[in-house]
Amino acid sequence: MKCRVCREKAVIDLPRHNASFCPACFDSYLMDQVWKAIDEFEMFGKNDRILVAVSGGKDSLALWDILNRLGYRTTGFHLDLGIGGYSGESLEKTRAFALRYGLTLHVESLVQEVGASVANIAELTNRPPCSACGVSKRHLFNRAAQKLECQVVATGHNLDDEASRLLGNILHWQDGYLEKQNPALPDEGGLVRKVKPLNRLTEKEMAAYAFLKGINYVVHECPMSVNAKQLFYKKIMNQVEQESPGTKQAFYFGFLDRRSRFYPEKAEEAPAYLCRECQTPSYTEVCTFCRIRLKVARSEQNQDTTA
């Protein structure tokens, strides 16, 4: 197997591009894909400070590495979700990465912020764990970005994540989510800009990048993801891709090309309230995150009085 570019020995085969690459040419290809995503969706510029949401997994650590190599100004943000050994290892690997490259890392704990771990929040609020986690992350990433004077939050979602999410949204005709499925969401309604610079790269490509760069990341999936529908949709997309390489990207990029036809750009309606608890702009008197926080506090008080 020879590299498509330099004809040296290839180490990775990408059937979706009908191409193989040696380590050096794969690195150029990957950096170019990230740069294209940033440029096409005008995600950020060299003067912006970017809050990189780093979980300790391959995608977010690789993203942090790539953005630094491309010369962007970054601050890492890790949210400890309080998921036992998994969260312990995630924090440890994120800290080790920041130390290795001399990067600034800011850490917050969900247990300290809400008073419970993801699993406990889910139980006390009757929400699926990933829903409780998603609401908390959105709120705390946004708050951290404002606190740390970052103009944009970047996450490590890759092409597999986006294609499987799109499949789930289409299967259930989730118009509200489809409308917002865009790798760059503007800073509207009191929320800072949110971007996904890895949207052109697959999970396999990100794993290869992390391996070639010697990035030490958490390999296993979050234990809360066991019943997550997202994994099921990923499995389906992988089966389709196996049979017909290139389908995943055609599906996702095809949607982005047609998106404005179905969901024309419109200015987001400004939130009518400032949350009466945390003062962030909200569509309800108390924002979703604070409603979760208050419900957890009330449940704990009830448990104390009945004990």
Smallest gap from Cβ 103 to ligand SF4, in A, equals: 22
43 lies in the site for ligand SF4, by CB under 6 A: no
104 lies in the site for ligand SF4, by CB under 6 A: no
CA distance 259 to 165: 15
Pairing of strands 281-282, 273-274: antiparallel
CA distance 264 to 267: 10
Closer residue to ligand SF4 in complex, CB, 30/140: 140
Smallest gap from Cβ 60 to ligand SF4, in A, equals: 11
Closer residue to ligand SF4 in complex, CB, 66/135: 135
Type and span of the H or E element at 106: strand 105-109
140 lies in the site for ligand SF4, by CB under 6 A: no
Q: Which of 129, 156, 183, 197 binds ligand SF4 (CB under 6 A)?
A: 129
Is residue 100 within 8 A of residue 106, CB to CB? The reply is: no
Three-state secondary structure readout of 51-102: EEECCCCHHHHHHHHHHHHCCCEEEEEEEECCCHHHHHHHHHHHHHHHHHHC
The one segment of 139-147, 223-231, 266-274, 299-307 that binds ligand SF4 by CB under 6 A: 223-231
Phi-psi region of 190 (alpha: psi -120 to 50; beta: other; left: phi over 0): left
Q: Which residues bind ligand SF4 (CB under 6 A)?
A: 118, 129-130, 133-134, 222, 224-225, 228
Q: Annotated binding residues for Zn(2+), as ranges?
A: 3, 6, 22, 25, 275, 278, 287, 290
Q: Annotated binding residues, as ranges?
A: 3, 6, 22, 25, 275, 278, 287, 290
